[in-house]
Structure 1
Amino acid sequence: MADGPMVVLSDESQRTSGEDARSMNLEAGRAVAETIRTTLGPRGMDKMLVDQGGNVVITNDGVTLLEEMDVDHPAADMVIDVATTQEAEVGDGTTSAVILAGALLSNAEDLLDDDIHPTSIVAGYRHAAETVIDVFEDMATEVEPDDIDVLEQIAGTAMTGKGAETAKDLLSSMVVSAVQAAVRDDGTVDQDSVVVRQFYGGSIDDSEFVDGVLFDIEPVNQNMPRSREDADVLIYEGDIEVSKTNVGAEATVGSMDDLQGFVEREQSELSDKIDKILDAGADVVVADGGIDEYAADLLAEAGVTAYRRVEDEKRQRLAQATGAERVGDLDLLTADHLGYAGSVSERVIRDMTVRRQADHESTTVFGDLPTEGVGTILLRGGTEHVLDEVERAVVDSIGVVSAAVEDGAVLPGGGAPEIEASLALREEADSVEGREQLAVEAFAESFEDGPRTLAENAGHDAIDALVDMTARHDAGDVNVGIDADTADLVDMFEDGVVEPLRVKTTAVDSAVDAATMILRIDDVISAGDLSVGDDEEEDGGAGGPPGGMGGMGGGMGGMM
């Protein structure tokens, strides 16, 4: 047998091993964090993302930036998953979570340079994470679901720096009202019942919370009532039209009498359908399919308001809100299938310029509904980019207020939890044996990166801020954080800067998971095709390296 190494990989395969693999992955992870670092905090800067088609997104929302960027490195994708997890779990704190992950990777690289084995670093990081969670839980303050003042502070903190500050008080109040209305009997929040709608025109101050659901639909007949009270609502999963004949069937009309008879039979069929709707007592009909013009005339004469070709999502939402049962066969229709709306009215919300460009000039509002927790946050704004950013801020606020209501625990903002955790970790490191102690100390240093960035983005001296905050916390002022406007150290609860406990704990968990996963990788090999089953055909067969091995791409892709 010939001497020499056995060749296992194909000539097209790429492989990076050992220190080179770790260095490449650590660099990619840090690059992601550096990209969004300047967006952190109330004084954070915005980013403009432009795709090849010229579409523009302007935002400083961490998860939006990372999702829209064209990232071309698998390790970088792992760090982006940190933001995705944070967004899914709590809705805010994505930038902080990614910055923490980047700091953990950066400090881990220094330890690797000192010949600390990745396994020791991972063990130290895991130990430190458990300590941090305990610290956060100990310093958390209870909040009640009906504590409107604190909940509005939480909502306002999530909106700060995201383009919604000019109307922060108004929007915060709307968010709290919406979340409180969506609390279930078991104490959880049904966030799906809170809908955020954009209406171009006007200013942010014109935004409002509507107790009900809004649809851009108009009655099928102009003579139908546009406003009514105490309405029984039918959700019909079909069309009110003449039954279709078999494909290829033909009807031969030999005289005007035959034609008249044919028309009368069609009208009789439609009349039967309308009679069944009227006998059930429906005042409003929301149909999946079309509504014949003759049927619409009959409904209008009977004083019934009808809407046709309403999307499934809207029908489902309206059924849940009104308590209606979706009906697919009018022969089975009874009054028990109908829902109820205390009011059905038409509002003209958009301004004249926008109405000319919209598919619908008016909006139908179903209000005074029997189902609790159904509401719509109606956002107004002068431009598309402004409204998009305000909506992102409001959605984040809904997430954090929901988390606070469900968990009943909040923390001060302004970097206070991070400094407190850093002090606790440095003390804890003294009791940790072996090289894991160095990893715990590195974790403590990583936690200081958040407050440091917060101060830098506000234009203040980061070193002075860290030194002063550390001294105050060491003296027992655990709630003291940095005021981004004045650089003063103040009690964050008194300053109204409050965050749910879940924002911090989720950020720690996801950041540590990503950092330790990357640290444990010592070999990067391009795979031919990682798909299984039917995915192979859909993906067009075997592919190249997963996401590329070269680094981060230069373009911005996938614009919203």
Structure 2
Amino acid sequence: MFQNSGGLQSLLKDGARHYSGVEEAMLKNIEACKQLSTITRTSLGPYGLNKMVVNNLEKLFVTTDAATIMKELDVHHPAARLIVMAAKLQETEVGDGTNLVVILAGELLRMAEELIQTGLHPSDIITGYEKASRYVDSILHELAVFNVTNQSDKTQVVKALTPVIASKVYGYEGHLASCVAEACIIVTDSGQRFDLENVRVVKIQGGVLDQTQTYRGMVIPRPAEGTVKHVKNAKVAVYNCPLDPQQSDTKGTVLIKTAAELKSYSRGEEEIAQKLVEDIHAAGIQVLVLGGSVSEIVMHFLELKNIMVVKINSKFELRRVARMLGAIAVVRLGAPIAEEIGFADEVSSEEISSTKVTIFRRESESSKVATIVIRASTQNVMDDTERALDDALNTFRSLTKDQRFVAGAGACEAEIAKRVKSYAMSNPGLDQYAVLRYGQVFEIIPKTLAETSGADPNYILPKIYAENNFKVGVDVENGSVKDMSEEVVDHLVTKQWAIKLASDVALTVLRIDQIIMAKPAGGPNLNKKPVMEDD
């Protein structure tokens, strides 16, 4: 223990590793973060390229969504995991702009690496980055070009949501934005507070994305049981237990010795089922929503009383239906009391494509719900569309708090780059080099948009600067530049959070000068497959 008294290694257990200094620790961390940033960079914009990710459960993801890529990548490098954590925080806080966080963080560290290699001390870089970050935060509100003055105006909401969807499902953004805007307006009607839980998304395979529709109410992707398929102005009871007299919470054994006893037992079961259904019918119930199974004998009596039965396997979906209908889930066999009964304007079993669905409709101040039914030919397209709609819904949630939008298509980033570079010239001291590079970082967004659309970034960027207008961005369709403020706008808060989180990650990584890794606990990984040698 006391023989090797020199160095940090003598303080740690055998198998521990440590790296220190700029070359070993800092530059290695920066390299890992740059590699992670490179993965998602080409996924930016309407013409962004897909990434094929197979996770640890061998599930396949083909997407341009940076949040999904970060979530499914099993990143082990500790510095790169800081970027993954920042991307997750952006997804939680705003719901969109995760790719912007990853790209900016990687580019900030790449610029820092160049400055370190030219001899600038990391503390000067940190000071410059902090100054520039505060300056960008102070000028961002000046770049607002559009305000959503009325959240019930479908035209304004569609304009705000279209670019969010276009970045993932280009070509269908107009129709999909219209569907999302319609759903958001339904659930916020009469001044109701917007809640993501009130907008449901159901995927039905078959057809094309143009057939995606918004339904007022809740759509359950399974038909009603029995023959009753349509009820209006219905009292609804929600049962979270099996509707079967034979099933009980306690187990027991019945010993039957004679045929008479068997006949009596069967008749008793039938009488219990009949009384249960008569009690339910007497309470005025016309629709039953069940979370468990229903016996054949109970189903027979329900049919005689013309009571509609809908089964929902998901307990979470069952709770949502109960909340929407104003009902309380019953967990006992017996008729519901008045407080447990819900109400629906209409419950109907309909057919979308070849899939039978059940739609619950209710016009109420307290429970306005809308469902967007996605139609597409493959599961992968439906999944990617669902992610795009989720981003759009989160953007609407953000605009209920802050209605300001900045010009998109790289226009906002190009203006930030120009202003920060001008600000750098007014800073004496070595940190002005870091401020200058901080401004150059934002040029990566218009450059990447130009690259992915097939245009020359070295031609596009100077042309944006030559226009001298903070609304001018990259026109990806024509490979040129123009005023994008009427077509493509980005939410100001999304940009604000993305820049803040990217700057924080870069500063955190630049403050690390030593990495100490303990020996991993536990034995060998039994799940790891052996390496197969080639013949």
Question: Does TM, normalized by the shorter one, top 0.5?
Answer: yes
**1:459 and 2:450 are equivalent in the alignment:** no
Q: What residue identity is the alignment partner of 1:170? A: H
Which of residues 132, 139, 147 is equivalent to 1:135? 139
Q: CA deviation at 1:248?
A: 6.7
Q: Is the Cα contact below 8 Å between 2:283 and 2:335 reproduced in 1?
A: no
In the TM superposition, what whole-angstrom CA distance separates every residue of 1:353-404 from its partner, at most 9, and x where no partner exists?
xxxxxxxx52111123424431111011111222222222222222223322
Matches within 5 A, 1:54-203: 55-140=59-144, 141-144=146-149, 145-162=151-168, 164-183=169-188, 189-203=194-208
Contact 1:400 1:499 in 2 (8 A): no
1:126 & 1:279 partners in 2: Cα distance? 71
Aligned to 1:348, the other structure's residue is in SS state strand
What is the one-letter code of the residue matched to 1:5?
Answer: G
Q: Distance in 2 between matches of 1:417 and 1:449?
A: 12
Q: 2:350 aligns with which of 336, 347, 350?
A: 347
Partner Cα separation in structure 2 for residue 204 and residue 406 of structure 1: 30
d(CA) in 1 for partners of 2:430 and 2:182?
A: 51
Deviation at 1:75, TM superposition (A): 1.4
Q: 1:156 to 1:543 in 2, by over 3 A?
A: farther
The answer as to 2:376 corresponding to 1:381 is yes
SS at match of 1:406: coil
Distance 1:296 1:302 in 2: 10
Deviates most, 143-152 or 177-186: 177-186
Kept after mapping to 1: 8 A contact 2:243/2:333: no
Give the CA deviation at 1:165: 2.8
Q: Is the 8 A contact 1:187 1:406 kept in 2?
A: no
Q: Is the 8 A contact 2:236 2:342 kept in 1?
A: yes
1:312 maps to a residue whose letter is: K
Which of 266, 271, 275 is equivalent to 1:272? 275
Cα distance in 1 between the residues matched to 2:524 and 2:423: 46
Q: Is the 8 A contact 2:280 2:334 kept in 1?
A: no
Deviations 1:187-241 (A, max 9, x none): 8531121111111111111110011111133434x33x11111111111222222
CA distance in 1, matches of 2:310, 2:201: 22
Q: What's the offset of the Cα at 1:304?
A: 0.6
Work out the CA distance in 2 between the residues paired with 1:187 and 1:113.
56
1:322 and 2:313 aligned: no
**Residue 441 of structure 2 is aligned to residue 446 of structure 1:** yes
Q: How far apart are 1:413 and its partner, in Å?
A: 0.3
SS at match of 1:365: strand
Name the residue aligned to 2:479. Answer: 487
CA deviations on 1:236-259 (whole Å, 9 max, x unpaired) are 222222255786743232333222
Letter in 1 for 2:341: L
Equivalent residue, structure 1, for 2:231: 228
Q: Select between 146-155 and 7-16 the one with higher mean Cα deviation.
A: 146-155
Cα pair 1:36 1:95 within 8 Å, conserved: yes
- Alignment-mate amino acid for residue 275 of structure 1: E
Cα distance 1:268–1:456, how it changes in 2: closer, same or farther (>3 A)? same
Which amino acid in 2 is paired with 1:269? I
The 1:394/1:543 distance shift into structure 2, 3 A limit, reads farther
Match of 2:390 in 1: 395
The match for 1:537 is none
Letter in 2 for 1:133: D
Distance 2:56 2:492 in 1: 40
Greater Cα offset, 56-65 or 411-420? 56-65
Whole-angstrom distance in 2 between the partners of 1:104 and 1:190: 36
Counterparts of 1:29-68 in structure 2, within 5 Å, are 29-50=33-54, 55-68=59-72
Aligned to 2:6: 5
Please identify, of 12-21 and 137-146, the stretch whose mean Cα deviation from structure 2 is larger: 137-146
CA distance in 2, matches of 1:245, 1:259: 19
Checking the alignment, whether the CA contact within 8 Å between 1:178 and 1:373 is kept in structure 2 is: no
1:282 matched to 2:285: yes
Does structure 1 retain, via aligned residues, the 8 Å contact 2:326–2:341? yes
Preserved CA contact (<8 Å) 2:17 2:519: no
What is the aligned partner in structure 2 of residue 527 from structure 1? 518
- Change in 2 beyond 3 A, CA 1:116/1:184: farther
Find the counterpart in structure 1 of residue 28 from structure 2: 24
Distance 1:61 1:244, change over 3 A: closer
Q: Which amino acid aligns with 1:138?
A: E
Query: What's the CA shift for 1:445?
Result: 0.9
State whether structure 2 residue 290 is matched by structure 1 residue 298: no
Q: TM-score, structure 2 length as denominator?
A: 0.90
Q: Quick check: 2:280–2:335 contact (8 Å CA) kept in 1?
A: no
Residues 97 and 184 of structure 1, relative CA distance in 2, 3 Å threshold? farther
Q: 1:17 to 1:454 in 2, by over 3 A?
A: same
**Distance change >3 Å, CA 11–CA 186, structure 1 → 2:** farther
Q: For the residues of structure 2 that align with 1:414 and 1:250, how far apart are their CA atoms?
A: 72
2:361 aligned partner: 367
- The correspondence for 2:465, drawn from 464, 470, 474, is 470
Q: Which amino acid aligns with 1:194?
A: V
Taking structure 1 as reference, are residues 389 and 3 closer, same or farther at Cα in structure 2, changes over 3 Å only? closer
Name the residue aligned to 1:548.
none
TM-score (norm: length of structure 1): 0.86
Check 1:509–1:121 CA distance in 2 against 1; reply closer, same or farther (3 A cut): same
Report the CA distance between 1:411 and its aligned residue: 0.8
CA contact under 8 A between 1:133 and 1:505: conserved in structure 2? yes
CA contact (8 A) 1:233 1:338 kept: yes
Moved more, 291-300 or 116-125: 116-125
CA change 1:175–1:112 in 2 (3 A) is: same
Distance 1:52 1:79, change over 3 A: closer
User: Is 1:424 the counterpart of 2:419 in the alignment?
Assistant: yes
Q: Which residue of 2 aligns with 1:516?
A: 507
Distance 1:76 1:260, change over 3 A: same
Give secondary structure in 1 for the equivalent of 2:392. Answer: helix
Q: Which has the higher contact order (CA 8 A, sep 6+)?
A: 1
Q: Displacement of 1:460 after TM fit?
A: 1.7
CA distance in 2, matches of 1:75, 1:470: 35
1:252 correspondence with 2:247: no
Contact kept? 1:231, 1:283, Cα under 8 Å? yes
Closer/same/farther in 2, CA of residues 33 and 543 from structure 1, 3 Å limit = farther
Q: Decide whether the 8 Å contact of 2:13 with 2:518 is kept in 1.
A: no
Q: How far off its partner does 1:121 sit? A: 2.1
- Paired residues of 2:362 and 2:368 also in contact (CA < 8 A): no
Trace 1:531-546 onto structure 2 (pairs within 5 A).
542=522
3-state DSSP of counterpart to 2:11: coil
Give the 3 Å change call, closer, same or farther, for CA 381–238 of structure 1 in structure 2: same
SS at match of 2:102: helix
Alpha-carbon offset, residue 525 of structure 1: 1.6
For the Cα contact (< 8 Å) 2:224–2:358, is it kept in 1? no
Shift of 1:328: 2.5
Give the aligned length: 519
SS at match of 2:432: helix
